Amino acid sequence: MAIESDVVVIGGGLAGATAALSAAREGVHVHLVSANESTLRQASGLIDALGYAVGHAAENDGEDAGAGSGDADAVPGPLADPFAVIEDLPADHPYRVAGADALREGLALFDDAVGDLYRGGHTDRNALVPTTSGRAKPTARYPQSVAPGLASDGRPMLLVGFEADTEFDAPLAAERLSAAGVPFDVSGATVEFAGEYRADAAVTRLAHALERDESAASGRGTTAGEGRTTRQRLADRIRPHLGDAERVGIPAMLGDSHVEEVRADLSERLDAEVFEVPTGPPSLPGIRLEDRLFDALDSAGVSMTTGTPVVDFETGADGRVASVTIDRNGARIPYEAGAFVLATGGLVGKGLDSDRERAHEALFGCHVPQPDDRMAWSAGGAFADHAFARFGVRPDDRMRPLDVEGTPEYANLAAAGGVVGGADVAREKSASGVSLATGLVAGRTAAEEA
C-alpha cells in the first residue's frame, strides 16, 4: 500500500515549504517529504530577492573568464529596487520565467507565513544588512532581531565580537563598514563571552545560556561577576565600549526562540538597541525560520515526513509521475499523489549531483544544461562567473522542468528552489527570492495538476 495525498513536495527547505504552503492554499492535501532537516540551518536567515545584477556570460566561456578575484566581471553596486531590473535579466533566469509577480507574491506568502519574525515587507526596496565580514548586504526581508542594524539608519553603532569566536572580528568588520562609507559612526570591540565556556563551545550552547539567562552557578567556574546572570555579565562587559553608540550588534546567537526577550533585556541594560549580525553556519536565525515555517506548514494541514530520502519514482501509463518511493533503512514505501514538486535543492542540498563526467538532477534525471568540458564548469577567478553556480533544471512558466527539446519532462512535475538553474544566486544575492518565486508557482501548478 502507499501513502496517498494530492500533492507530494520533495524537499523541506525554503522552496519546498513555500511550494507546500502555496499548494495547500489551493485547497489540496499536501505531503512534504524531506531527506534531512532543512538546509535553512546553514543559511544566514536573510531573505534576499535580488541584490546585484550580475553579468551572464555564455555557457561555454568558463575557462578564461576572470583571472583575478572577479575583477573581470565587475558588477555595479547593489540594487535598491530588485523589481526594477527583472525584465532585463537573461531569458532563462528563474525570475524572467516565473515573472516579477511571482516574486512579489512569493514574498507576500512568506510575510504571511512568518508573521512578526521578519521585517522589510513595508517596501519594495532592498535593505542593507551588515554581515559578519563587515559588508553591507542587500536583502529584501530580514529578521526583526536584525532590523535595528540596517546600514541606511544613521545611528552610531557598536559591533561586539567574542574572544573565542574566530568567525567575527568586530573591529575589522567596523573598519570595513566605515571604509564602505556607511552613514554612521561604527566601532568594534572584542569581549569575553559571559560565562567562561570552553573555547570550542557550540554556538547553540552560548545561545542557550543567553536564552535561559543562566546564573553563574550553572555556567562553568567563573570569577568575575559571580552570582550575576549571563545577560547581566554580558551587558557589563559591553558597557565600557559603548561610547556614543545607540545600537549594538552582536553575532546572531541571542537565544533560540526567545530572541526578542533576550534583545529587549540586553537593550534595556545597555540603553542602546541591541541587534543581531547574521552569521555563517551555524545560524540561529536560520533555525528560527525553520521552526516558524514548520508551524505554518502544520497550521496549513500539511503532512510532513522528515528524515527519509526519496530514492525512486514510478510513472503511470499516461507518462505522468504516479508515485515516489522513500527509503527507510531499506524499507521502501511509495507515496502516491496527483502531482509532485521537486524542491530537492541544488549542489549543496544534493538535488543536483555530479561526477567527473557530468552534473545531473539526482532524482528524476531531468535535463541540466552544462558545458561538456569539466574545466568550463568553473572560471579562473574565485568570484567570477561560474557555470556551476547556474546549474539546474530549466523550467517552463509553470515551473515544470523541460527536457532537452524544451517540453516538460512530466506534466505533473514542477520544480522549485535550488534545483532550478539559470541564475548565480550567490553573486546576485537572490537565493531566497528564487525559492519563494519558484515555490509559489510550482505549488500552484501542482495543485492544478493534482
Partner 1 sequence: MSDRTEVLVVGGGSTGCGVARDLATRGVDVTLVEQGNLTHGTTGRMHGLLHSGGRYAVSDQASARECIEENRVLRDIASHCVELTGGLFVKRPEDTEEYFQEKLAGCRECGIPAEVLSAEEAREVEPFLAGDIDKAIRVPDGAVDPFRLCVANAADAEAHGARIETHSPVTDVLVEDGAVVGVEVTHESGAGKRVHGVEGGTEEIYADHVVNATGAWAGRIGDMAGVDVEVRPSKGVMTVMNVREVDTVVNRCKPKGDADIVVPHETTCILGTTDEEVEDPEDYPEEAWEVDLMIEELSKLVPMLDGARTIRSYWGVRPLYEPPGTGTEDPTDITRDFFLLDHAERDDLPGMTSIVGGKFTTYRLMAEQISDHVCDLLGVEAACTTADRPLPGSEDFSVLRDYMDEFGLRSPVGRRSVQRLGSRADEVLDTDEPNPVVCQCEAVTRAELRDAIGGSGSDLNAVRLRTRASMGNCQGGFCAHRMANELHAGGDFDRPTVDAALDELWQERWKGQRHALWGEQLSQAMLNHLLHATTFNRDGAAPEDFAAFDAGECGAGSADRDAADASGDADDAGDTSERTAADGGVSARDCGGDRGGD
Partner 2 sequence: MSDTHDTHDTHEDCGCDGEANRSAATDGGAVAGSTAGSEDEFEPVDVFEGSEMDLRPGADSCYKCTSCDTSCPVAEVDDSFPGPKFQGPEQWRLKRKEDTEIDDSITGCSNCMRCDGACPSDVPLSQMHNTARAEYVENQQPTLSREYLRNRILANYGTLAALGSKVPRLTNAIMGNSLVQKVNETVLGITAERDFPEFADQTFRGWWKERGGPKVESEEKRVAYFHGDYANYNTVEVAKALVRVYEAFGYEIAVPDQRCSGTPMFANGMLDDARRSAAVNVESLGEMIEQGYDVVASCTSCSMALRQEYPELFDFEGTETVAANTYDALEYLLINENVIDPLSEVDAADHDIPDFAYHAPCHSRNQGLDRQAVELFRYLDGVDVADVGDSCSGISGTYGWKEEKYEYSMEIGEEMFEHMEHANGETGMTECPTCSMQMEHGTGYEIDHPLQVLEAALVDTDVTI
Residues lying near partner 2 in the complex (CB under 8 A) are found at 1-3, 35-37, 39, 41-42, 197-198, 200-205, 207-208, 212, 218, 220, 281-283, 287, 291, 294, 298, 303-308, 326, 328-331, 333, 345, 348-350
- Residue 1 binding partner per list partner 2, partner 1, none, with a CB distance cut-off of 5 to 8 Å that depends on partner kind: partner 2
Pick 77 or 330: Cβ nearer partner 1: 77
Task: Give exposure, 185-200, as e/b (b: 16+ Cβ within 10 Å).
Answer: bbbbbbbebbbbbeee
Closest residue by Cα to residue 102 from 398, 407, 448: 398
Min dist CB 284 to partner 2, Å, is 8
- Residue 55 binding partner per list partner 1, partner 2, none, with a CB distance cut-off of 5 to 8 Å that depends on partner kind: none
Cβ atoms of residues 75 and 427 within 8 Å: yes
- Residue 85 binding partner per list partner 2, partner 1, none, with a CB distance cut-off of 5 to 8 Å that depends on partner kind: none
- Close Cβ partners of 122 (under 8 Å, ≥ 6 residues apart): none
Pick 160 or 389: Cβ nearer partner 1: 389
Which cell is 199 given? Answer: 573555547
Question: Under DSSP, is residue 423 helix (H, G, I), strand (E, B) or coil?
Answer: coil
Distance between CA atoms of residues 327 and 177, nearest Å: 48
- Residue 276 binding partner per list partner 1, partner 2, none, with a CB distance cut-off of 5 to 8 Å that depends on partner kind: none
Pick 198 or 356: Cβ nearer partner 2: 198
Min dist CB 439 to partner 2, Å, is 18
Distance between CA atoms of residues 248 and 156, nearest Å: 9
Pick 427 or 444: Cβ nearer partner 1: 427
- Residue 308 binding partner per list partner 2, partner 1, none, with a CB distance cut-off of 5 to 8 Å that depends on partner kind: partner 2
The C-alpha torsion from 375 through 379 and 383 to 389, rounded to 10°, is -60
Pick 43 or 366: Cβ nearer partner 1: 43
- Close Cβ partners of 271 (under 8 Å, ≥ 6 residues apart): none
Task: Give exposure, 19-37, as e/b (b: 16+ Cβ within 10 Å).
Answer: bbbbbbbbebebbbbbbbe
Pick 32 or 102: Cβ nearer partner 2: 32
- Residue 329 binding partner per list partner 2, partner 1, none, with a CB distance cut-off of 5 to 8 Å that depends on partner kind: partner 2
DSSP 135: -
Min dist CB 29 to partner 2, Å, is 11
